[in-house]
Amino acid sequence: MTPKGPRSRTLATFRELDETVLAVAASRAEAPFDRESVIRKAHRVGATIVSSPIDEAARELITRMSHGENLSRGLAGALLGRLEMVDPPKLSHEAMQAAQWAGESMEQRGRTLYDLLELADSLPQKRAGTPLKFPRLVAA
């Protein structure tokens, strides 16, 4: 939206939203361009969004660490120092748990989901207590 109403022209068309598309859209925008808002809206409508190389590296690092690998103390300290300069959002416990899956392939996620469903199917069903008894109906 603009002060004069809906925007009358498209800033960029794309198959995948990446840095190049964002740069083109920003160069065509007449008003201040809110890059994060565009990315959020693209997520909301299900557009394919290409991750930046640094995001891919972070996913890889999180995945490898969740599989038991560790950084050397020197690199861990350097990384923590750089991350302290960033203002990350506070993540819930659930979001932290989900982050462990950030770098896993869709195949691995699917296998894990299948295993989880198999486990749920093999859990014993809770047996109900005594069956309900209704009063006898008497013919009038």
Residue 33 placed within a domain: yes
Residue 90 placed within a domain: no
Residue 71 placed within a domain: no
Say if residue 125's pLDDT is above 80. no
| 32: containing domain | 16-49
Burial (0-12, 13-18, 19+ Cβ within 10 Å), 123: exposed
Residue 114 placed within a domain: no
Per residue in 56-87, pLDDT (tens digit) is 888 888 888 888 899 999 999 999 889 888 88
In angstroms, what CA-CA distances link 27 with 16, 20, 107? 18, 11, 38
What's the pLDDT at 71? 92
What's the pLDDT at 2? 63
What's the pLDDT at 118? 93
Average pLDDT rounded to a whole number, residues 87-96: 80
Q: Is the model's pTM score more than 0.95?
A: no
Domains: count for the chain:
1
In angstroms, what CA-CA distances link 36 with 15, 40, 42? 18, 6, 10
Whether 39 and 14 have beta carbons less than 8 Å apart is answered as no
Residue 38 placed within a domain: yes
What's the pLDDT at 89? 75
Residue 127 placed within a domain: no
What's the pLDDT at 5? 66
Residue 29 placed within a domain: yes
